[in-house]
Amino acid sequence: MSRPSERLKELGMTLPPVAKPLAAYVPYVKHDNLLLLSGQVTMKDGKLAYQGKAGSEHDIEAAQQAAKLCALNAIAVAADAVGGIDNLDRVLKVVVYVASADGFTDQHLVANGASNFIQEIFGEAGVHARAAVGVAELPMGSTVEIDITFSVKG
C-alpha cells in the first residue's frame, strides 16, 4: 500500500488550503492522541461547491461528490494539524450529515462518497466507524457536512 501522500498524487489530487477559522472555534483540537475536527462543508476555492438538498437539488451521485469534497477538506485540516498527511495515524469515526429533501433516505449511499475516498487514501488506516443521518438544513446551504475524528501518534 502506498502512503497517503502517494495515493493522493496517484489520484492527481492535492489537499486544499485550510480555511481560516470564522469565529471562536478552530478547525481542529488535539487531545492526547485524538484529533477532533470541526465539521467540514463543501467549500472549494472559497465558496460552497454543493448547495441544496439531496433528493431535490442533487441526485445521489452529486451528493456523493459533495461528501467526497467534505472528506477532502477534513483530510486537509487533519494533515495541517500534524504536519503532513502521512503523520496521521488512522481515521476513527466519521459522522456524515446530509441535507435531505423529504423522503430521501439514501444517506448511507451519499456517505459512501466520503467513506470510499477515505479508504482509497488511507487504506487499512482509513477503515472507520460511521453514522450517516439526514438533516433539515446545513450551514450556508451546504449539501453535506462531515465530522471526522482521527487518531494521531503520541
User: Rule CB under 8 A: which residues touch a second copy?
Assistant: 22-29, 31-34, 36-39, 92-95, 97, 99-100, 102-108, 111-112, 115-116, 118-119, 126-142, 145, 147, 149, 151
Q: Give the other-Cβ count within 10 Å of 34's Cβ.
A: 14
Q: Which CB atom, from 69 or from 118, has the smaller least distance to a second copy?
A: 118
Instruction: Name the pairing type of β-strands 47-48 and 34-37.
Output: unpaired
CB of 39 to a second copy, least distance (A): 3
Q: How far is the CB of 109 from a second copy (least distance, A)?
A: 8
- Measured from the CB atom, the residue of 11 and 26 that comes closer to a second copy is 26
Closer to a second copy by CB, 17 or 21: give it.
21
Which contacts qualify for 59-63: CB closer than 8 Å, 24 or more apart?
Answer: 60/106, 60/109, 60/110, 62/143, 63/98, 63/110, 63/113, 63/143, 63/144
Using alpha carbons, select from 67, 117, 66 the residue that is nearest to residue 91. Answer: 117
The minimum distance between CB 126 and a second copy, in angstroms, equals: 7
- At closest approach, how far in Å is the CB of 120 from a second copy? 8
